[in-house]
Chain A
Amino acid sequence: EDKVVQSPLSLVVHEGDTVTLNCSYEVTNFRSLLWYKQEKKAPTFLFMLTSSGIEKKSGRLSSILDKKELSSILNITATQTGDSAIYLCAVGPGGGATNKLIFGTGTLLAVQP
């Protein structure tokens, strides 16, 4: 059965700290790993990592895919209170279909002033 596991489940840090969120996966035919940020409503897309693009960076956020270890990390440096959110990891394709994503349960990050 395809699955995606995120850790930790929740995390509390202070502004300025650096955090690392983890995502590990088991899927039959891996094609991509995606990170989303969910504040109150819609998850917003952060990064997509594939075999041809294993490292992405945008401002203070960066992500690396380790295909050997079947995992990915999302790093956030110099955290701000606006980084407080649920961070979702998803892997595709999943469940034997070519257009499905398998989501992890998410990591709840709280950044305190």
Chain B
Amino acid sequence: DGGITQSPKYLFRKEGQNVTLSCEQNLNHDAMYWYRQDPGQGLRLIYYSQIVNDFQKGDIAEGYSVSREKKESFPLTVTSAQKNPTAFYLCASKSGGDSTDTQYFGPGTRLTVL
């Protein structure tokens, strides 16, 4: 089955720790995205990558880092510099280019800072 997987489902972090959220897709999509969702604020873009070995900051990139070494994978690291990391994190992907804007989402990771 083609799709996007995220792991873990739930993650607990102590203050001062870095954590990495996994996102993998087997849809052969070029573009991948990371969003953060907080209650009442919709989806806010953290980072996105349109092609392997390239990525751009989104609207709220501070305190986060990413890598795109493989087409299938786009891990997100939440660093200790992120002041309020407790949130629901969604990964998405889409076909490359301008042929479509439709993004497909993974099931999400809920991160809680203790």
Please report A residues at the B interface, Cβ cutoff 8 Å: 9, 31-32, 34, 36, 41-45, 48, 88, 90, 92-93, 95, 97-101, 103-106
Contact = CB atoms under 8 A, between A and B. Distances in A.
Given A43-B90, A43-B105, A99 B42 contact: no
A58 to B, nearest CB: 14
Contacts of B56: 97
Contacts of B103: 34, 45, 101
B90 A106 contact: no
B50 to A, nearest CB: 6
B43 A88 contact: yes
B1 interface: no
Contact of B48 (A34, A43, A90, A100): A100
Interface size class of B (residues with CB under 8 A): 20 to 34
A104 B45 contact: no
B42 A93 contact: no
A103 B108 contact: no
B108 A41 contact: yes
Contacts, number: 59
A42 B43 contact: no
Interface in B56-114: 56, 58-59, 90, 94, 98, 100-108
B41 interface: yes
B42 A42 contact: no
A106 B42 contact: yes
A106 B38 CA distance: 11
A7 B40 CA distance: 12
18 contacts: A31-B98, A41-B108, A42-B105, A43-B43, A43-B90, A45-B103, A48-B102, A88-B42, A90-B43, A90-B101, A98-B98, A99-B48, A100-B45, A100-B48, A101-B45, A101-B101, A104-B42, A105-B41
A74 B94 CA distance: 23
B101 A42 contact: no
A105 B39 CA distance: 9
